[in-house]
Amino acid sequence: MSQLMTRRRALATLSVITATVLASTGMVRAETTHEVQMLTKHPEEKKLRNVFLPRVLVVEPGDTVTFLPTEKGHNSASSKGMLPEGAEGWKGKINKEISVTFDKPGFYGYECSPHAALGMVGLVIVKGDGMTDNLDAAKSAKAKGKSKKVWKEIWEEVDGMDLGS
């Protein structure tokens, strides 16, 4: 029995050492969960209404974004023409939390279905190889109403970011 315990201990120790080495070399990364609030009023800039906070979020592949119905009447849904090729879209229900895991690098536009024309839009940027493959398509996607102005601001913000890849 002690020989069996020794083997188990040795295997457990080897597993811990392997995981530690991989994590320290960057070969293994723990996925992260990020939160985006769906708000009727911005908490600091009271003139801003129907907003996602933050409205631009940069994540790593495998990360999850949870869209929180902080205030009633909102949802999160992917925007037409603003997803990397092969990526799955999403559409949350009004007043319901939705979590989306982003595996493919690229630019993911999203909106609140009832308030998109009022400018309630946002962007998730997933870093990695091929990240900019859908950038031009995302920038040229159709926008309605006030969201045209908000998208212009978002793209200006993105242009000023050091995204690396």
pLDDT of residue 163: 87
Residues 45 and 73 in one domain: yes
- Amino acid, single-letter form, for residue 128: G
Average pLDDT over residues 7-11: 51
Consecutive H or E run containing 4:
helix 2-24
**Which of 42-46, 51-55, 77-81, 88-92 has the weakest average pLDDT?**
42-46
Residues 23 and 60 in one domain: no
Interacting residues of 143 by C-beta distance below 8 A, sequence separation 6+ = 121, 151
Residue 122 is classified by DSSP as: E
pLDDT classification of 31: cutoffs 50, 70, 90: confident
Consecutive H or E run containing 98:
strand 98-102
pLDDT at 90 over 50: yes
Residues 45 and 22 in one domain: no
Across the strands, what pairs with 30? none
Residues 16 and 59 in one domain: no
Reported pTM: 0.82
Round the average pLDDT of the chain to a whole number and report it: 88
**What domain range includes position 125?**
33-159
Domain count, the chain: 2
Residues 112 and 50 in one domain: yes
pLDDT at 19 over 50: no
CA-CA distance, 147 to 66, in Å (whole number)?
A: 22
Residues 91 and 26 in one domain: no
Does a structural domain hold residue 164?
A: no
Residues 76 and 146 in one domain: yes
DSSP 7-66: HHHHHHHHHHHHHHHHHHTTSS----EEEEEEEEE-SS-TT-EEEEESSEEEE-TTEEEE
Residues 98 and 19 in one domain: no
Does a structural domain hold residue 92?
A: yes
Does a structural domain hold residue 165?
A: no
pLDDT at 37 over 60: yes
Q: Is the peptide bond before 54 cis (omega within 30 degrees of 0)?
A: yes
Check if the beta carbon of residue 54 is closer than 8 Å to that of residue 38.
no
Residues 22 and 37 in one domain: no
pLDDT tens digit string along 100-150? Answer: 999 999 999 999 999 999 999 999 999 999 999 999 999 999 999 999 999
